[in-house]
Amino acid sequence: MSENTTYQVSPIGYVRGEPGNFRLEITEPYRPALKELGQFSHVIVLWFAHECDTGEARAVLQARPNYAKGEVLGIFATRSPARPNPIVLDICAVMDIDEDAGIITTPWIDAFDGSPILDLKCFVPMADRPRHVRVAGYLSDWPEWQEDAANFDFDPALFEPYED
């Protein structure tokens, strides 16, 4: 394979909703793949940050995220959707699944209404949750668990656009 090899992916569905009311709508051809996913409490969602897919955003290799207090970080050390391939990963709680309609209800996903879903994977703690984790010091006061983030007093400035 050469450095110029490209790959093609197609959406299997789309994110729908607004805060507190999210649905993952899976298109009809992929609905049979939902069978038994309802036995899992969480699903890994890979989605495409289509609203960030510009040549400029794909060229961002370093940024100064507000949460890093002025440090310059390589884009791979951030969760920014501005990156060479704007693919985002979220782990979402599964509240309900309607396999026939292709709808997964979840309380939260860090995506826009209409974001294309590229893939779903069942969350399996043994495979997806390492015991010993290290994070950068500037994130040390953030909650350890996703469920605790809803009640954490994040500084709103953290979510302003990154500086280049």
DSSP tag of 53: -
Q: Quick one: tokens of 60?
A: 């961002």
Percentage of residues of the chain with pLDDT beyond 70: 93
CATH class of 10-49+86-123: mainly beta
Q: Where are the domains of the chain?
A: 10-49+86-123, 54-82
Asked whether the predicted pLDDT for residue 50 surpasses 70, the reply is yes
Cα dihedral 127, 133, 135, 139 sign? positive
Comparison of pLDDT for 21 and 58, the residue scoring more: 58
Instruction: Judge contact between 49 and 87, C-beta under 8 A.
Output: yes
The share of the chain scoring above pLDDT 90, in percent, equals 66
162 pLDDT tier (thresholds 50, 70, 90): low
Tell me: the pLDDT tens digits for 107-160?
Answer: 999 899 999 999 999 999 999 999 999 999 888 888 888 888 878 887 766 666
Torsion, Cα of 76, 93, 49, 69 (10° steps)? -40
On whether the CB atoms of residues 117 and 45 are closer than 8 A, the answer is yes
Quick: pLDDT tens for 73-107. 999 999 888 999 999 999 999 999 999 999 999 99
- Does the structure show a pLDDT above 70 at 44? yes
pTM for the whole structure = 0.89
What amino acid occupies position 57?
Answer: A
∠ Cα 140 144 149 (to 5°): 100
Q: Summarize the confidence of residues 18-26 as an average pLDDT.
A: 89
Rounded mean pLDDT, 55-68: 91
Would you say 86 and 50 are in contact if contact means Cβ atoms under 8 Å apart?
A: yes
The residues, ordered by sequence, that sit 6+ positions from 76 with a Cβ below 8 Å of its Cβ are 83
pLDDT of residue 98: 98
